[in-house]
Amino acid sequence: MDFLASIQQLHFLRPAWLLLLLPAAFLLWSVYRRSDSIRKWRKVISPHLLQHLTLSESNESGRWRPVYMLGMAWLTGTLALAGPTWQMQASPFSEDQAAMFIVIKVTPEMLARDIQPSRLQRSVIKIQDLLELRNGIRTGLIAFAGSAHLVMPLTSDAGVINNFAAALEPSVMPMQGDNPAEAITLASQRLVRAAVPGSIVLITDSVDASQLNELQSAHQEWGVDVHILAMSAGPEAIPPPGSPPAPALDMDALREAARVMGGTVTAVTADKNDVMALAARIERSISNVPAQEGQQWKDSGYYLLVPLILLILSFFRRGGSVAIE
């Protein structure tokens, strides 16, 4: 069944090269006619007499003539140039066949200390834990408040992501506010442009209901799942004195936001259980992306180079040349 499927998918990546077979056919026909020493005599002598009047070398009728080898070499080389293919392979232009964008909220509310040492600092710790679990995956970082900004494009260097995440502060954001939809759109565009399956991790303490329509529109347009890491404590937590005011955890609102974005919600924990659960959900999302993304047809023309070389070597033996007049 696999063989039949491969035959059905057989095609050429560069079919224009097959046009070389047209001049090759004419050339080989011309060489063959010129190599036929008794061709002219067939016009004036009967065939049954001609076979008794001509002399031939022993085994000449059974051996391969150089013109045959030339034809096989030309055919093999042309097929190799045309790029026969019947199966997909991973794109060589991407280091990994998966990617992840981390979108982190950087507002004064994220400085609240209901989660120690603060919501923002705990977010940085969770990013480090997540990158350790998803070792090698290409990761990008986006920070948002009233506007969204690309902090780091996709990279396999987890240390760079960690360093830039640790440097984020509300004071560096040019516009105050809370606009996760713009950040999700930016991350989705980057993932689609990279042409690899991926997911988005949104680290936030809340999502305003007014943003739901925009978040849903972004997911419908780009099709990238968004998983939320809820970075806030419940109403039972009492922030220490001096902590900035911030909304308590509202899981219902976050679940609704995750639903419209095709993802899930994970509540932050003191240990790594939250990150482990989040990593598993990211893995499931990426595995559901169609396998064709980030892949290309495998060029199997290289396999024809070995027989082509062997055919060319046959012309270096004695009597292996082909004369073209």
| Residue 58, pLDDT score | 44
Q: What is the mean pLDDT of residues 291-319?
A: 73
User: What global pTM score does this model have?
Assistant: 0.62
77 vs 215: which has the higher pLDDT: 215
- Residue 98 CA: distances (Å) to CA of 124, 139, 198, 200, 311: 22, 9, 5, 11, 43
DSSP-assigned letter for residue 169: -
- Tell me which residue of 150, 134, 133, 135 sits closest to 184, measured CA to CA: 150
43 vs 264: which has the higher pLDDT: 264
Cα 280 from Cα 259, distance rounded (Å): 17
Mean pLDDT lowest among 71-75, 145-149, 154-158, 279-283: 71-75
CB 195 within 8 A of CB 91: yes
| Residue 231, pLDDT score | 94
Q: Which pair of tokens denotes residue 270? A: 């003191």
Q: How far apart are the first and last CA of the chain?
A: 50
CB 227 within 8 A of CB 258: yes
Domains annotated for the chain, with CATH where assigned, are 2-89+297-316 (no CATH), 99-287 (3.40.50.410)
Q: What is the mean pLDDT of residues 6-15?
A: 77
50 Cβ neighbours under 8 A, 6+ residues apart:
38, 41, 42
159 vs 70: which has the higher pLDDT: 159
185 Cβ neighbours under 8 A, 6+ residues apart:
148, 218, 221, 222
194 confidence band (pLDDT: 50, 70, 90): confident
3-state secondary structure of 59: coil
pLDDT over threshold 90, residue 266:
yes
| Residue 83, pLDDT score | 87
